[in-house]
Amino acid sequence: MKNLAKAAGKYLSLVRFGHTVFAMPFALIGFSLAVTEAGNSFSLKLLVLIILCMVLARNAAMGFNRLVDKRFDSLNPRTSSREIPSGILSPWAVTVFVVVNSLLFIAAAGLINRLTLCLSPVALAVILGYSLTKRFTSLCHFILGVGLALAPVGAYISVTGRFELLPLLYSFIVVTWVGGFDIIYSLQDDQFDRENKLHSIPASIGRKQALFISTAVHLATVVLVVMAGIKGNSGWIFWSGAAVFTFLLVWQHLIVKPSDLSRVSIAFQTTNGIASIVFAAFVIADLIIFR
């Protein structure tokens, strides 16, 4: 049992399990949008399957990322202690982990409905393919956003079996929100990326301009949040959550400067993790009370 727990800990560290706070709350928003509509009802089994799909898909994506980036991770002082470069996990062990999680994801999606089963390989292609995009485009930040943006719309169609505008708006919120904060996160590696011919917005145009673009993208996030609130005929609870979410977006731009990256981790993980959880809690509460 002790050895099993130790092995599990290695894989949880590999996939940075705590970072599920970025997409999972938005998946719960998509689920709540669906079950609060007339004609739909809450299903604990379906909710568990959605959460399972989220975890499995993210495990596969993170494992694949660590696998294909192992050479760069070993060269970068910031990432050289990760599981593969440090020898904690072998490339073969991570390959098996990725394949198993991918197959289980497709199987879990198939237990939901036919549409989710058909879309599951497409979802895998997007979330796994992101890891290769830094090799050829500075838009990699937004491709990561697209991968995480599958959460709200995927959860919605898991319940309803169809697409609608409102969950798509929440997906666009995720694209811009994640793209913006990933630009901030990548400031740490701008010099390394340039030296190793990897693409990112900070590596391409410099830290100052990258932060300007991140700010503009997060402004678009706020506009999309307002659009979602109007489209959903939301009440005061939603708008309170939107205000907190907006404040936290602004806050991360206030604490990160081109000449001072000491608080990037706070901006990336802590601030955005809190923003996601708080916003989802307020949105879901608003749906329950006002629908």
Quick: pLDDT tens for 199-258. 999 999 999 999 999 999 999 999 999 999 999 999 999 999 999 999 999 999 999 999
pLDDT of residue 151: 94
Of the listed ranges 29-43, 128-142, 184-198, the one predicted with least confidence: 29-43
Residue 8 scores a pLDDT above 70: yes
Q: Take residue 119 and report the two structure tokens written for it.
A: 């879309």
Nearest to 106 by CA among 124, 132, 85: 124
Residue 5 scores a pLDDT above 80: no
Instruction: Output the pTM of the full model.
Output: 0.94
Give the residue-averaged pLDDT of 14-22: 76
Q: Render pLDDT for 36-54 as a digit per residue (tens, 0 to 9).
A: 987 888 999 999 999 999 9
CATH topology of domain 21-290: Tetracycline Repressor; domain 2 (1.10.357)
Residue 135 scores a pLDDT above 90: yes
Q: Render pLDDT for 266-289 as a digit per residue (tens, 0 to 9).
A: 888 888 989 999 999 999 999 999
